[in-house]
Structure 1
Amino acid sequence: MYALAAAAIPLLIHLLNRRKIKRIPFSTIQFLKQMEKKQMRNLRIRQLLLLLIRTAIILLLVLAFARPTLQSGSGGLLSERSNIEAVIVLDNSMSLSEARLSGTLLDELRTRFNSLQDAFRAGDRITVIQSTAPAATLIKQEPFESGVWERSIQKLQPNYLKTDLNSAISQAISLLDQSVFATKELYVISDFQQSGIDARNLTELFGQPENAEIQPFLLNIPHPNAENISIDSVTVVNRLVEINQPLRIKAYFRNHHPENHLNTLASVSLNNNRVAQQQVSIAPNELKEVQFQLTLAENGFVNGFIETESDALQEDNRRYFNFYVPKRVQLLHITPSDDFRSFLPLILNPAIDRGVFGYQRELAANWSSRNFLEYDVIILEGLDQLPETLVSRLKSFVEQGGGAIVLPGDRIVPPQYNRLLEQFSLGKLGELQGSPGSVEQFLTIDNFRWNHPVFEGLFEEKPGQLNPIEVYANFRVNASQQSQDLLQLSDRSPLLLESNLNKGVIYFISSPMQPQWNQLPTKGFVVPLLYRLVYFAGTRKISDRQEIRTGEIYQSQFSNLEAPYEFRMSLSQETDVRLTPEFRGSNVLIEFAETALPGNYRLQHNDQQIAALSVNPWPAESDARYFSDELPALFPGSRLLASDTPIADQVQSSRFGQELWRYLLIAAFVLLLVEMVVARTGSKSLVEESAA
């Protein structure tokens, strides 16, 4: 503003060039004095007017270059801004990967962010936060320079993560509250997807008095009504998955377009081989269930995905899943003696011959010589006595993921069996009801839990109907709340009980499988029943069908693992991460946090896979509902920056009010024209008067 001193230049010129008139008395032309007096008066008026105009021109030019503003707040007409503490929240979540003809929405966000740097200058301090879950700080409180923007844009890459604006904004406000800068600004560049915003929490956050000094600026990235089909979920319907048996997979597809009916070709791949496909037609805004059926030809860990054709958002076109098919279930059958007549080997023989079950038999007297951990299922049949050490070993085996099936003997020791039932939370043993071998009086199997995996696929209709099966005698059990009865007799007492212990399961059949006790050995129903009991119990300890969302932390606990404890989590050969286990007694806890990429991950222990993990994008990121008109209410006191006007100019205008430099230049130009007219008119009049 020191240039205002230049306004004195016209006055100095005027004083130096004042016309000095020499008076010469002349008696004969007294009348000319009056003319002279009039002429001098007109001349002084013009000169004074020119002086004022020229001074005003210089003042206007100086003020224009000073860029004064009309402020709505305090600070006066001419105010110089202080340094600014600015936090910029950038939303590069998966929804911003939506494609347009000119590129993705993330490209537009980068452009908007890049144009924002013209609103800052040296002395300002910048923080850039990525609003995904988990949030990431790209730049933290660094002095403003062009390199800040370049580094931020390099780090701002497309991803599959969910947006969490509330968390990022809360982090930004915390930084601004701690700042010593007088001016604090918050910038949010986002599509403001409704699924990623807790509106109530956000309004309360900005309504707090301590945050009143923070000025929020919003830059909205609008979504067109793009044609997009997402796969929201995939479920393997079969809870018992067997090789060479039908496999049913259920998927939910969603059409996010509000008006158009969309079609896509959906395909199923297992271990990277396409095994099924079908055409899917979905109405506007419809969630549609689609089922695929195929025959499984592989065992072990099976990785799969369902995929649709390309559309506006490619990232939600594939969804991963996994399951495990046992190669062989190892079975240990403990009986009281060699001459004990058991129907189990005969019933399970077809599965044993096919290699589905590995069968070994052991006498009760020698059970302690067996390592239970070498087997998947332990069957106790016909034992009248259950030593406490046997019950303890069996419980430890089940807790670590093993399966157990107990069929009592015909002369059991009730206290010992009571201990078993109590240890496994099955219930309490009651009295013997009925009489073995007495076929005149009997109960029948009257009810069963038809939706349990054991009965899955056994009946064409739900609920299925059982042919009458007579039970002549059984040990009555008062079931506990932790157990569930899978088969009930006609008097509502349980015949088959199930109880889960940690990862394992135990089944208790209250009537020995002998002809004098019941008809089970002679009925066809018992073959698939026992097969499925063994199969289901033997696969419980396998860590399959695990699924998390991108960005979430995976945790799992394992037992009975042998040294060395080398663990790796791999998505492909390029992404192989070595993990450090945490020991908790005899168990091993594995934690894995690098889940930003979707896919089927393999957890390996000493080069052997022990678990499978499917990581999928968040379905909420495909949700096509966004805040727009509601933004001023969500962010009280915020300024919504338009996309059709330079962003830096809008920010400057918001900081200082209406800038006047344009109007000052226009006024100076107008006065310059007036000055030219006045000066020219005055010179012409002077010449004419002199000539006269």
Structure 2
Amino acid sequence: MNFLYPGFLFALTAVAIPVLIHLFNFRKYTKVYFSNVQFLKEVKEQGASREKLRNLLLLFTRILAIVFLVLAFARPYWSSGKKMDPAAQTLVLIYVDNSYSMEAVNKDGSLLDEAKRKVREVVKSYGPNDRFQLLTNDFEGKHQRQVRGEELLQLLDEVKISPVHRGLPQVMNRLDAHRDLNSNRFIYLISDFQESFTGSKAVGFSDPGEQITLVKLQANKMPNIAADSVWFLSAVHKPGDAEKLVVKLRNYTEEPASGIAVKLTIDYTQKAVHNLNIPANGTVNDTIAFRGLGQGWHRGLVSVKDYPVVFDDYLNFTFKVEASRSVLNIKGDPGERHIDALYASDSYFKVTDMPESNIRYSDLGEYDVIVLNGLKSPSSGLSQQLRLYVSQGGTVVVFPDLDGNQTQYSAFLSELSLPRVSGLHAEQLNVSAIDLKHEVFREVFEHIPSSIDLPKVNRYFGFAELQKNVQQNLMTLPPNQLFFAQFGLGAGKIYLCATSINIKDSNLPQHPVFVPLMYKVAFGSAKKQPLYYTIGNNDLLESEQISLGTNQSLRLVADHFEAIPELRQANGKSLIYIADQVRKPGFYELKKADSVMGVYAFNEDRRESDGRYTEDTKLKELFPTQKIELYHSGKDVLTLEGTPKNNRTDLWKLCLVLCAVFLAVEVLLIRFFNNTKNIQKT
């Protein structure tokens, strides 16, 4: 047992007063003379024993009455958990889940409204001098300070549904950061505790003895169909070309959904409407084809009709149609025409020839793909420039000159983090394997025959092996030798071929696989920007490299919205840091002055669509080191006013009751425990 005000215990010295009264009876006796006391002797002895018992009982009742009165002022309490500092300030941390799932309703209205009522009950159960701090999914700056109860209720009225999704570990880390060693902390978590919110891993906390009160809100079960995600089958978007978009819909209910209409609009023009059937708790993918897009940025929207959960019925996305892709062909032999002829068949590719003897290093960054076509003597200066180019996101394809200096080629390749040449082999071989799962060959073949015709080679370089995790073989020679492989370097890619592009060395330039191989390599050089971002999860936007002049800045603009993001440069691309400024779904333009540098789409977090909730037993298991009090709004009739607001049990009221009881016993003893008797004279 502990005392809130132990200084009052000095008043226990007051018990000496009834003791002194008992030891020194100050009542004066009078002498009464009797002629014969023989008949009074027995009565006198009986009266003395009764009076002695009566006086002892009075002494004990008076002592106990004083003791319990003093204890009541000292405020005793039992500690049932972490020991609290009685002189410290009380700090109450309250987390209110204001995610989209809290829009759900039950018999008492929306879950967010019920959460606010619970917060008011919590505030009412504490004293006027106690401090409070509110936390929501928004992690707003105005919630970073401690306030009194009245001000907290004002902040509570401003809380609205937010598109930001937070996990339980994030919330607990945020609460743990508000640690005040001079305060007694009490934590309340008020949420519906979705599985997507709680997760399945135990939550660590710096103070294992701290009590946490969980208030679980329960919503009515509601059907929900969500537009889950979208992606394109083709990596590059060409003007006027056919596009195929895959739309993924998810059913979060226990019953199958039929006839769900999904609509696709591009630039606010409807492109397609499909009706789909979705199994219970399942997904379905639908491919939507459209064409006729011009150059520039395009805004897409996939929508379904679903009620009452509507926030996930719309999915925004953006993409850019490039006018062309530029290819630089650095040739060792000016008469070589295979690369020029290959890309000349498609106006989408713009090929520039540059002789090995006159390479303009300053122009390398202007091209999407650089082909090294049979260089006679590649220099270290070229390797350094190419290394910088690739690390910033460029793509290089190397076709060596088999008659070149092997030592010089080995040094050149080594500086590009490629395998060194081990020797020249002059033997006729067929390519033994092709990796059809690689993105270069994906969707190239509609049907794969059992005996596929692969390129033949007459001469080729052998290479020393590199670490397998940095090398991806697209085609190999027996026994598992490199023929055409991809290597990563920084943000870019390097493709290395074991033979030259000369028809005397192999039939690769004339083989049917050569065209899709080089086309897909060029397509893969495109800077892939995400189709959309998620509010609250993505703070960095990607863009092609942007350079700002003096007194220039970027602006992120939408309807009734404008923000100035921070620009960061990394590996040949620009990263736009927006922090938490975007709070609404939709389309946002990135502008430099009046020029549009990019268009970005934002959507709400789809994790809020899952209506599965964590069971009570599993919820407690998430806090293995804390004392957890769990209150279920749908089952528990007790309100938070009746819950223990801390981990101690106050005893001062009991002490007052016991003090009153012993005073009443004293009165009864004086009134009814009387030793006076009438004596009959004889």
- Aligned twin of 2:345: 350
Aligned partner of 1:191 in structure 2 is 192
Q: Please, which of 599, 608, 612 is the counterpart of residue 625 of structure 1?
A: 612
Corresponding position of 2:147? 142
Cα distance in 2 for residues equivalent to 1:588 and 1:239:
20
Letter in 2 for 1:485: N
Deviations 1:591-623 (A, max 9, x none): 221243344544445555555655443333222
User: Equivalent residue for 2:41?
Assistant: none
Distance 1:651 1:398 in 2: 63
Q: Please, which of 74, 95, 101 is the counterpart of residue 95 of structure 1?
A: 101
Determine which of 497, 501, 518 is the counterpart of 1:513.
Answer: 501
Correspondence for 2:460: 474
Q: Give yes or no for contact 2:402–2:460 (8 Å, CA) kept in 1.
A: no
Amino acid at match of 2:605: W
Q: What is the correspondence of 1:261-660 to structure 2 with a 5 Å cutoff? A: 261=257, 263-295=259-291, 297-336=293-332, 338=334, 340-351=335-346, 354=347, 356-368=348-360, 371-434=363-426, 442-461=428-447, 466-481=452-467, 482-537=470-525, 539=526, 541=527, 543-545=529-531, 547-548=533-534, 550-554=536-540, 561=547, 563-564=549-550, 566-568=552-554, 570=556, 572-582=558-568, 590-594=576-580, 595-605=582-592, 607-610=594-597, 613-627=600-614, 629-630=616-617, 636-638=627-629, 640=631, 642=633, 647=639, 649-651=641-643
Aligned residue for 1:125? 131
Identify if the C-alpha distance between structure 1 residues 166 and 500 changes in structure 2 by more than 3 Å, giving closer, same or farther.
Answer: closer
Shift of 1:516: 1.9
Give the Cα–Cα distance (whole angstroms) in 1 for the partners of residues 327 and 587 of structure 2: 30
Deviation at 1:365, TM superposition (A): 1.8
Structure 1 letter corresponding to 2:382: L
User: Structure 1 191/530 Cα, relative in aligned 2: closer, same or farther at 3 Å?
Assistant: same
1:319/1:584 Cα in 2 relative to 1: closer, same or farther (>3 Å)?
closer
Task: State the AA in 2 paired with 1:125.
Answer: R
Indicate how the Cα distance of structure 1 residues 334 and 151 shifts in structure 2: closer, same or farther if over 3 A, else same: same
Query: Does the 8 Å contact 1:426/1:479 carry over to 2?
Result: no
CA distance in 1, matches of 2:500, 2:200: 62
Map 1:5-154 to 2 at 5 A.
85-98=91-104, 104-114=110-120, 116-120=122-126, 122-130=128-136, 132=137, 134=139, 138=143, 140-145=145-150, 147-154=151-158
Alpha-carbon distance between aligned partners in 2 of 1:326 and 1:348, rounded to the nearest angstrom: 16
Scaled by the length of structure 1, what TM-score is found?
0.71
Deviation for aligned residue 1:227:
0.6
Whole-angstrom distance in 2 between the partners of 1:653 and 1:523: 79
Q: Which of the numbers 245, 252, 256 marks the counterpart of 2:248?
A: 252
Q: Separation in 2 of the partners of 1:310 and 1:456?
A: 35
1:100–1:297 distance in 2 versus 1, CA, 3 Å:
farther
Name 1:66's counterpart in structure 2: none
Question: SS in structure 2 opposite 1:96?
Answer: helix
Given that residues 543 and 610 in structure 1 are in contact (C-alpha distance below 8 angstroms), is that contact kept between their aligned partners in structure 2?
Answer: no
Provide, for residues 623-666 of structure 1, a one-character-per-residue CA deviation record: whole Å limited to 9, x for no partner.
22223543566673526274686846535899989999xxx9xx
Gaps of 5+ in 1: 1-70, 76-80, 435-440, 665-692
Partner of 2:161: 158
- Structure 2 Cα separation of the partners of residues 244 and 464 of structure 1: 35
Shift of 1:460: 0.6
In structure 1, what residue type is equivalent to 2:164?
L
Aligned equivalent of 2:673: none
* Alpha-carbon offset, residue 358 of structure 1: 1.8
Q: Give the CA deviation at 1:469.
A: 3.1
Q: 1:560 to 1:408 in 2, by over 3 A?
A: farther
Distance 1:235 1:73, change over 3 A: same
Which residue does 1:208 correspond to in 2? 208
Aligned partner of 2:64 in structure 1 is none
User: 2:227–2:312: 8 Å Cα contact kept in structure 1?
Assistant: yes
Partner Cα separation in structure 1 for residue 79 and residue 417 of structure 2: 74
Go from structure 1 to structure 2 and tell me whether the alpha carbon gap of 1:294 and 1:100 turns closer, same or farther (over 3 Å shift): farther
CA distance in 1, matches of 2:304, 2:480: 49
Task: State the 1:533 CA deviation.
Answer: 2.4
Q: Is the 8 A contact 2:392 2:572 kept in 1?
A: no
Q: CA deviation at 1:360?
A: 1.9
| C-alpha separation in 1, matches of 2:170 and 2:504 | 68
Alpha-carbon distance, 1:418 to partner: 1.2
CA displacement at 1:403 relative to structure 2? 1.9
Q: Is the 8 A contact 2:316 2:586 kept in 1?
A: yes
> What CA distance in whole angstroms lies between the structure 2 residues aligned with 1:161 and 1:640?
25
Structure 1 residue 345 displacement after superposition: 1.6
> SS at 2:480's partner residue?
coil
CA contact (8 A) 2:558 2:587 kept: no
State the distance in 1 between where 2:532 and 2:408 align. Answer: 38
By percentage of residues, which structure has more helix?
Answer: 1
**Residue 389 of structure 1: how far off its partner (Å):** 1.4
CA–CA distance in structure 2, aligned partners of residues 483 and 74 of structure 1: 64
Task: From the superposition, tell whether residues 398 and 620 of structure 1 become closer, same or farther in structure 2 (CA, over 3 Å).
Answer: same
Shift of 1:269: 3.2
Q: CA RMSD in A?
A: 4.1
Could you tell me whether the CA contact under 8 Å between 1:89 and 1:169 is conserved in 2? no
The residue matched to 2:374 in structure 1 has which SS? strand
Aligned counterparts of 2:181 and 2:434: Cα–Cα separation in 1: 64
Is residue 473–residue 511 contact of structure 1 (8 Å, CA) maintained in 2? yes
Matched positions, count? 568
What secondary structure does 1:416 align onto?
helix
Q: For 1:221 and 1:119, locate their aligned partners in 2 and report how far apart those are by CA, in whole Å.
A: 20
Counterparts of 1:664-683 in structure 2 under 5 Å? none
TM-score normalised to the size of structure 2? 0.72
Secondary structure at 1:315's aligned position in 2?
coil
Residues 62-94 of structure 1: per-residue CA shift (max 9 Å, x gap): xxxxxxxxx99599xxxxx99854322211112
**CA distance change for structure 1 residues 426 and 240 in 2, over 3 Å: closer, same or farther?**
farther
Q: Distance in 1 between matches of 2:258 and 2:162?
A: 26
